[in-house]
Structure 1
Amino acid sequence: MAPSARRTPTKGKAAAIPQVSWRAPQPAPVVLVSGPEEVCAERAIAGIREYLRAEDPSLEVSDIRADTYESGSLLGLTSPSLFGEPRLVRVSGVEKCSDAFLSEALSYIDHPQDGATVIIRHTGASVRGKKLLDALRAGQGGAIEIPCAAVKRDSDRFDFAAGEFKAAGRRIAPGALRSLTSAFADDLTELAAACQQLIADVDGDITEQIVDRYYGGRVETSAFAVADTAIAGRYGEALITLRHALASGADPVPLVAAVASKLRTMARVAGTRESSGALAARLGLKDWQVDRARRDLAGWSESTLGLAIQATARADAEVKGAAKDPVFALERMVTVIATRARFGEEAP
């Protein structure tokens, strides 16, 4: 067991709480798993359980809900048993914890039980339990923190998927990784499952052809496929892809969001002369995103890009309730973008 993870609580002002990656979780007397991303949090908590169970198969695992907490539960479950088995107590719902739990948890971290690991799960959805989090982050209880920040941006999903393959010691082609993340742009749980399926099923490197074989239908009807074909000016194909996506159950709101995301990146990159690496670092993007946006800008002008952005903003409002027919709103948006002309006008 790493000494830093099991250090003795110190008096007075302590150093900042150690931060541990959710991909490499480790036990400590108290482990704060913070942040909203449930996929990462579940991995971290499961990883700690596996770590402890590998050390001692007799590990006792218990669960507590902090919002429906019964007084005395925490101390009772962490107290040494007759045979001295190690204990793991997983506490969920701390962002809506009861006063009883908060009081007992604050007392517990002053004197953690030997042989016990307590996982405190706080999603950050509220400030409830802040006093406990502040105490842990100040170093009480010999705690460590495993941050699980939200995975929202395209670059975050790309990094997440790349990390899945890196952690498994597997190689995936950049194009295959982009296709995979585009196919599961709206659900990190499904993206994680898709990565694990490819890792388990495929021997050797994972190519674009393999991803297409497994998830081709999903890729073809993804929101980003609609955006790509429209931005490339392939009008007929863009409409067919849009209708296929809708027929497959795609939600109009993320479809518009995908188009808006690509257009925003194009607008940020347009007219710049910096290298891809320098521009990506300045804008908080990946090199491949800058390169892709520059390729997408071929044939676009400042005026046509502005027109496309306006059409997308209008569609965004309409699919969120400003109009009665979201499908028409989507088709009009795709038409404007693909033809680079106002709706009802001939393309230049």
Structure 2
Amino acid sequence: MAAPKISKVEWSDVVPAPIVLVSGPEEFFADRASQRIRELLRDANAELEVHDIDAASYGAGELFTIASPSLFAEPRLIRVAGVDKCSDAFIEDAKRYVAAPAEDTTLVLRHSSGQRGKALLDAVRKVPGAIEVACPELKKDQERLAFAQAEFRRLGARATPGAVRMLAAAYSSGSVTELAGACAQLVADVGAEITEEQVNRATEGRVEASGFKVADAAIAGKRADALVLLRQALLGGTSPIPILAVINMKLRGMARVFGARGSSGQLAKQFGMAPWMVDRALKDIRGWREEDLARAIDLAAETEWNLKGGSRDPEYAIERFVSFVAMRGRGG
């Protein structure tokens, strides 16, 4: 008989279970999963005991001492950090424990990455009733946009598509924690209806926000405006790298929809994009030839290399790229 497959859930859907494996590098999601489990357990029983273990410095027998029944049999939450750096003693004890978990006890194992403790993870994933919460990094632009949209919904707010796009661009190089904090701060400051103008005011000091303005002008074909905005951003101390990143994000979206046929909803499903993102990319692509778009994407890679030490004049490199994009690839 095949071993049971562990149930995998999002952090927002996790519920207490005898064994909960929180895996993946994104600490923000891991923290939220752990917090949600604790809140649910405490809501069910205010006498909940919470214990924290560092797997890296773990001593033999510690887990069983904590999990042993107390006089009043209060429910327990045992949170184990650093399973990816755990001691040999922890691996041995944890493998024994997951084979026969204690009653009224929830064991949360945090493993961020790497092969250390793999045998334990394999054992956990075969435990009936165990749950795994995957915490991947949000590397793609669409993932950060979807996250920001979900945060506003969680906070009971509505943001226009442009506002979400602008906020995600403003924090494109920041952490997920920063992006979530920005969503919460906006709702606290302006209420449940978020517009582009409000996001623009809130993110005016961010270097990525400056890049967003340059990118909008360049993609719209407003070469003079784009170069002026670029110069202002550079004089204000903005690094050219996030500016390049925002423009490149737009170019990649345009490349995905170039020549595609179907409704916004159909294309959104095909490419894993929101319908409004498809509409924006289709609008931006007007006036571009396929070969020029390909050249712009190639030039973006070359420009990134120049900005990261390949050129003695990085400002010229970003100016050349912005000009090339604003002229829709016809300028060189």
Fold match by TM threshold 0.5: yes
User: What is the CA-CA distance between 1:105 and the residue it aligns to?
Assistant: 0.7
Residue pair 2:67, 2:105 contacting (<8 A) in 1 also: yes
Distance change (3 Å), C-alpha of 1:249 and 1:64: farther
TM-score normalised by L of structure 2: 0.89
Q: Which residue of structure 2 aligns with residue 77 of structure 1?
A: 66
The structural deviation recorded for 1:324 is 2.9
**Residue 55 of structure 1, CA deviation:** 2.3
Any idea what SS the aligned residue of 1:61 has?
A: strand
> The residue matched to 1:200 in structure 2 has which SS?
helix
Partner of 1:36: 25
Question: Which residue does the alignment assign to 2:134?
Answer: 147
1:189 aligns with 2:177: yes
The answer to whether the Cα contact below 8 Å between 2:296 and 2:325 also exists between their aligned partners in 1 is yes
Q: Which runs of 5+ in 1 are unaligned?
A: 1-11
Question: Among residues 191, 195, 211, which one is paired with 1:203 in the alignment?
Answer: 191
Asked if 1:232 corresponds to 2:220, the answer is yes
Name the structure 1 match of 2:108: 119
Whole-Å Cα distance in 2 between the matches of residues 178 and 309 of structure 1?
21
Check 1:222–1:110 CA distance in 2 against 1; reply closer, same or farther (3 A cut). farther
What CA distance in whole angstroms lies between the structure 2 residues aligned with 1:137 and 1:92? Answer: 18
Q: Which residue of 2 aligns with 1:101?
A: 90
Distance 1:33 1:22 in 2: 9
User: Is the CA contact (8 Å cut-off) linking 1:307 and 1:340 kept in structure 2?
Assistant: no
The answer to whether residue 326 in structure 2 is matched with residue 338 in structure 1 is yes
1:270-314 deviations in whole A, cap 9, x for unaligned? 222322222222222222222111111122223432332232121
Asked if structure 2 preserves the Cα contact closer than 8 Å seen for 1:220 and 1:241, the reply is no
What residue is the counterpart of 1:163 in the other structure? 150
Gaps of 5+ in 2: none
Distance change >3 Å, CA 340–CA 317, structure 1 → 2: same
Q: CA RMSD in A?
A: 2.4
Matches within 5 A, 1:1-348: 13-123=2-112, 125-140=113-128, 142-187=129-174, 188-218=176-206, 221-246=209-234, 250-340=238-328
Q: Shift in Å at residue 25 of structure 1?
A: 2.6
1:18-70 CA-partner distances (Å, limit 9, x unpaired): 22321133111111111222211111111111122222333222222222222
Rate the CA distance shift 1:331–1:28 in 2: closer, same or farther, 3 A: same
**What percentage of aligned pairs have identical amino acids?**
49
Paired AA for residue 86 in structure 1? P
* TM-score, scaled to structure 1: 0.86
Could you say what secondary structure the match of 1:67 adopts?
helix
Asked whether the 8 Å contact 1:221–1:241 carries over to 2, the reply is no
Query: In structure 2, what is the Cα distance between the partners aligned to 1:252 and 1:90?
Result: 42
- After superposition, the Cα gap between the structure-2 partners of 1:77 and 1:239, relative to the gap in structure 1 and judged at 3 Å, is farther
